[in-house]
Amino acid sequence: MQIIIRPTSEIAALLTARLIAEALTAKPDLVLGLATGRTMERVYADLARRHLDHGLDFSSCRTFNLDEYVGIAPEDPNSYRHYMNRHLFERVNIDLRNTHVPNGVASDLAAECARYERAILACGGIDLQLLGIGTDGHIGFNEPLASLRSRTRVEILTSATRRQNAGMFSGDPERVPPCALTMGVGTILDSRRCLMLATGSEKTDILAKAVEGPITAMIPASALQMHPDSTIIVDETAATGLRGADYCRTIFNTAPAWAAYR
Ligand code: F6R
């Protein structure tokens, strides 16, 4: 696990976008796992800018989103499909047929989850999975106590998550759907590379627990400690609680692999 600390949330987001852009350039048919949420908006804005200004090519890219609310149709402005179309897909040259978001209004949700797992496998698995972290330690919508080997399934959201996401639902946590479809922690760990972005003071405590605490189902993000190729990009504010922050800075400032990014 590599933890990269950048001075501001903006610089952290730009580094995240750059790493994605480089992965896409190196492998034009990249299978990219995507996340939604406020933290990702800057990442997608910068990817769109790279497409516009530098011709970053998404035409062969395949994408799989982590999650979708149950009961929210794709055309609903609160759906994650709508979020992705607005923030990224409509702004780059991706073929919408190559973009995948779980269907939260499928008549058989268990069958939809199984179909989603099969679709990921049919594409050869996820090359690079982008992740945020919830204030309760969730990744995707894998809430505390999610099995670390879980697969795509229906998850009941915690009150912390419904509060965190209330902004999209007129600020009322009660209007946030109670359930979501989410890739499992095991599905995420199967990705060849994981890239998490965590910024801001509301992530300080949970970030320290996730990366420096014990691996526990109570903090699904802590499972990334077991992933052979995971990078966590954070800003100085989110890094405040890290005991190993100085060592993380030393790695970024001295490791040849990061020389081009300093
Ligand atoms: C949503 C997702 C979530 C978010 C997390 C952080 O697709 O994967 O795990 O990444 O809830 O959300 P923000 O960025 O809004 O704090």
Question: Distance, CA 132 to ligand 1 centroid (Å)?
Answer: 5
Residue 67 falls in the annotated catalytic set: yes
Residue 76 falls in the annotated catalytic set: no
Q: What is the CA radius of gyration of the chain?
A: 17
> Whole-prediction pTM value?
0.98
Q: What is the pLDDT along the chain (262 residues), one digit of tens a residue?
A: 999 999 999 999 999 999 999 999 999 999 999 999 999 999 999 999 999 999 999 999 999 999 999 999 999 999 999 999 999 999 999 999 999 999 999 999 999 999 999 999 999 999 999 999 999 999 999 999 999 999 999 999 999 999 999 999 999 999 999 999 999 999 999 999 999 999 999 999 999 999 999 999 999 999 999 999 999 999 999 999 999 999 999 999 999 999 999 9
| Substitution site in 32, 38, 39, 67 for ligand 1 pocket (most atoms within 8 Å of beta carbon) | 39
The protein residue with its alpha carbon nearest to ligand 1, atom 1, reads 36
pLDDT value at residue 165: 95
pLDDT value at residue 4: 98
pLDDT value at residue 55: 98
Q: Which amino acid is at 209?
A: K
Edge to edge, the sheet with strand 128-131 lists 2-6, 230-235, 193-198, 128-131, 31-34, 62-65, 99-100
138 lines ligand 1 (CB under 6 A): yes
* 72-108 b/e (C-beta count within 10 Å ≥ 16 → b): beeeeebbbbbbbbebbbebbebeeebbbbbbbebee
The protein residue with its alpha carbon nearest to ligand 1, atom 12, reads 37
Residue 46 falls in the annotated catalytic set: no
101 lines ligand 1 (CB under 6 A): no
The protein residue with its alpha carbon nearest to ligand 1, atom 2, reads 140
pLDDT value at residue 164: 92
